[in-house]
Structure 1
């Protein structure tokens, strides 16, 4: 890549252009843990100053692609979902529509996860799903509701663990990665949906029953039934969130 004179005249544009090209190199050719070529080599390659290279490297570090450390070359980072997590958490916290956007994404991802888990899950995968469901049961006990905030937090933690275990049991690494990246916003969404769930006259036991239906279908190896059970559960979650958001909008604002 050789940058035009116009690009070189605008330092910010030059750094951005170099960063975009370097990103393709990182994603296509370099493995996590590998170092970038030296600043001098990169400056020669792109026909820009070493200062421009430093700015481009900083941009890529900001995107989570590179790890910077004093006294050594920039190194390719192991991929993680931090940027995706931050984005989802932000929209869930600041915009009620973000909750519904997240449910729509979950419908696409988790229906597929359940379908694949029914076809591919090994014994270890089934056990992980079973353990998460048992954790949900233990958190609520025989009570129709949560004993305290700690019990509710534990319930939602195991609820997330259930859905994550289904994603991992699908055998699809991308699904597992995406679900891990959604952990924080999903847990926050669970607390909100639980409010609507209760307002609609349902209990945590109903949630457990819905999860049990999903597990039963996966155990049976019935992908179509597992997909439908997951779809029904998430549609019910969407109704819970709608109820909670409506009630929050109707509550008087306290000064």
Structure 2
């Protein structure tokens, strides 16, 4: 079933799915977050379908994270977030540990560019946010190394926050959105890489040193050095993950 240029439906597929697809296009290209959809009656008239079909289409859009719905109110366009993408990544990583290497490849593509752009574009607030995350890592390193689980969690939260802050400082909104969506997966990857990091004789201070190099290059406005420092850091992380997974595979069941 297809939607004609007049908004009516024709064909042999699902009317609700076709209405949802057409409305999704309108939401993504013409409406802003917080805007209300027309009433069910108006939409039913537009698409020449019954109100039950419209309700089903709206439920489909809510399931895709595009709308908020509440009983007795018009559906409202949601502020975009990365929940669906995040759920997909979580499933992928937990079902196939090799996907961690796919994630590193994606991070290399995105984060080297983030650091490069941040060195060119970061303002004082952007640099301050990166510095704050690094200070959080530094403040929690000693206790984390001594085995304090709360400090360890805080260290990793600030580690992820550092990378998110670099993405935001790049001035590219899509990069910022992607890192927000990937934050849970970054935490998971960092937890795995930490095992390999320790196995290879490194400490959290080595992790901090990588981040200091990245920040120093961004502060200096040296785009090439910032991108290269990020690339080297992520390649080192890849080696940590490889070591961790190898050791996990060698352990008896």
Matches within 5 A, 1:83-122: 83-122=84-123
Query: Shift in Å at residue 5 of structure 1?
Result: 4.5
Q: Is contact 1:114-1:167 (8 Å) kept?
A: yes
Matches within 5 A, 1:206-225: 206-225=206-225
Q: Is there any run of 5+ residues in structure 2 with no aligned partner, and where?
A: 1-6
Structure-2-length-normalised TM-score: 0.93
Q: Is contact 1:140-1:204 (8 Å) kept?
A: yes
Q: Provide the alpha-carbon RMSD of the alignment.
A: 1.4
Count of equivalent residues: 247
Query: Shift in Å at residue 245 of structure 1?
Result: 1.1
User: In 1, Cα distance between the equivalents of 2:80 and 2:206?
Assistant: 37
What's the counterpart of residue 43 of structure 1? 44
Q: Is contact 1:146-1:152 (8 Å) kept?
A: no
User: In 2, Cα distance between the equivalents of 1:55 and 1:17?
Assistant: 11
Q: Is contact 1:117-1:171 (8 Å) kept?
A: yes
Matches within 5 A, 1:1-255: 1-7=7-13, 13-141=14-142, 145-253=145-253
Q: Is there any run of 5+ residues in structure 1 with no aligned partner, and where?
A: 8-12
Query: Larger deviation: 56-65 or 196-205?
Result: 196-205
Structure-1-length-normalised TM-score: 0.93
Query: Larger deviation: 120-129 or 17-26?
Result: 120-129
Q: Is contact 2:144-2:151 (8 Å) kept?
A: no
What's the counterpart of residue 10 of structure 1? none
User: In 2, Cα distance between the equivalents of 1:146 and 1:219?
Assistant: 31
Q: Is contact 1:140-1:147 (8 Å) kept?
A: no
SS at match of 2:12: helix
User: In 2, Cα distance between the equivalents of 1:151 and 1:196?
Assistant: 19
User: In 2, Cα distance between the equivalents of 1:25 and 1:158?
Assistant: 38
Query: Larger deviation: 124-133 or 74-83?
Result: 124-133
